[in-house]
Chain A
Amino acid sequence: MSLLSFFEWCEDTAVGHAIRDSLWLFPVIESVHLLALALIGGAILLVDLRLLGLGLRSQPVAQLARDAQPWLIGGLVVMLSTGVLLFLSESIKCYYSPPFWNKMTFLLLALLFTSTVRRKVAAASETSMRPLWGKLVALVSLALWFGVGFSGRWIAFY
């Protein structure tokens, strides 16, 4: 099965049809997708600002990372489930959309980076690590998530 025929199969699912056939389902699902974007953005910024020496800088990074964790994961769960629904409703358009593939690449990198390097750096005690590393990790994290959001919005344009 080629990738395109898989995308065609996705577009032909009952869920895909239901969302396409409805006037309001797509914008409502997308609204929830946007609300989750705000939540994820806030949870990411809370920790990345702190790693940059900004925001809640008198709090330990590890503590803030623990505070942000449930909101980040909750936001991601909502984001991914609404994202799959949106995808099913326009899979073939996505297949031919360069921003969609950019977004998926950034998403994969952002998820990998956040669950490995960033998690380790945020959990490390401040004394055991040079602050420069924290700043670098924060910048990479912000750049990757920005890439996800930016190319996500551009799926609508191209």
Chain B
Amino acid sequence: MAFLPFLEWLESTSGSIAIRESILFYPLVETTHVLTLCLFLGLTALWDLRLLGLAMRRVPVSEVGGRLLPWAVAGFALMVVSGGLLFYSGPLRAAQNIFFQVKMVMIVLACLNALVFHKTVYRRVEVWDREAVIPLQARAAGFLSLVLWAGVVVAGRMQAYNWFD
């Protein structure tokens, strides 16, 4: 497999070594990664709760989506950049860690869930924007999003352990 040699090469680059051995930069990147949870997951969770009819019920769904999602997306971008740097600092250990693998699968599933939601039921949001009862498909998407992203956080924290390596 060409993947492993690629990771070995990546781990041997000077950038990877520099981050790994830095006293300040690595913890700063990791702190950014953790605190960005507030921006990304905090606002995503409020959005999911709105879809479940549990938060901000008086605010139209499209307004919450239009006004809060750009911030959540910015948070996601920061998450990807800081996470990418963390991965770059130790790609071999990360890629072979079961929690990391589970985390990546759950991120893909959560993104697919968001994609399907936006391409289908959210296209017709003007129909149910202010309805007391939100379409089941939208509620299901909100619920799935909460569960998947919570799983991503737990798996991400567990990544510090190599119990199954």
Is B17 close to A, CB under 8 A?
no
- Option from B41, B56, B153, B161 in Cβ contact (under 8 Å) with A67: B56
State whether A43 touches B46 (Cβ < 8 A). yes
User: Shortest distance in angstroms between A18's beta carbon and chain B's nearest beta carbon?
Assistant: 18
User: Shortest distance in angstroms between B130's beta carbon and chain A's nearest beta carbon?
Assistant: 14
Looking at B31, B38, B67, B68, the one whose CB has the most chain A CB atoms below 10 A away is: B38
State whether A38 touches B71 (Cβ < 8 A). no
State whether B59 touches A37 (Cβ < 8 A). no
* Contact-residue size bin, chain A (C-beta under 8 Å from the other chain): 20 to 34
- Option from B41, B49, B56, B153 in Cβ contact (under 8 Å) with A31: B153
User: Shortest distance in angstroms between B154's beta carbon and chain A's nearest beta carbon?
Assistant: 4
Is B93 close to A, CB under 8 A?
no
User: Shortest distance in angstroms between B151's beta carbon and chain A's nearest beta carbon?
Assistant: 10
Known A30-B157, A31-B154; contact A56-B38, beta-carbon cutoff 8 A? no
State whether B63 touches A58 (Cβ < 8 A). yes
In Å, the complex CA distance between A45 and B67 comes to 12
The interface-forming segment of A79-87, A117-125, A146-154 is: A146-154
State whether B56 touches A45 (Cβ < 8 A). no
State whether B49 touches A71 (Cβ < 8 A). yes
* SS of A interface (majority): helix
State whether A43 touches B153 (Cβ < 8 A). no
The residue in chain A whose Cβ has the minimal distance to the Cβ of B159 is A27
CB-CB under 8 A from A45, the residues of chain B are: 38-39, 42-43, 71
In Å, the complex CA distance between A154 and B158 comes to 18
State whether A57 touches B38 (Cβ < 8 A). no
In Å, the complex CA distance between A149 and B56 comes to 26
The residue in chain B whose Cβ has the minimal distance to the Cβ of A57 is B67
State whether B38 touches A42 (Cβ < 8 A). yes
In Å, the complex CA distance between A34 and B41 comes to 10
In Å, the complex CA distance between A43 and B67 comes to 15
User: Shortest distance in angstroms between A106's beta carbon and chain B's nearest beta carbon?
Assistant: 13
State whether B157 touches A27 (Cβ < 8 A). yes
State whether B68 touches A55 (Cβ < 8 A). yes
Can you list 11 A-B pairs with a CB-CB distance of less than 8 A? A27-B160, A34-B157, A41-B35, A41-B38, A41-B41, A42-B45, A45-B39, A45-B43, A46-B43, A67-B56, A153-B31
Residues of chain A at the chain B interface (Cβ within 8 Å): 23, 27-28, 30-31, 34-35, 37-46, 49, 54-59, 63-64, 67, 71, 146, 149-150, 153-154, 157
| Other A-B pairs, 9, CB within 8 Å; known A31-B153, A45-B38, A55-B68 | A34-B157, A39-B42, A39-B45, A40-B42, A41-B37, A42-B38, A67-B56, A67-B58, A153-B27
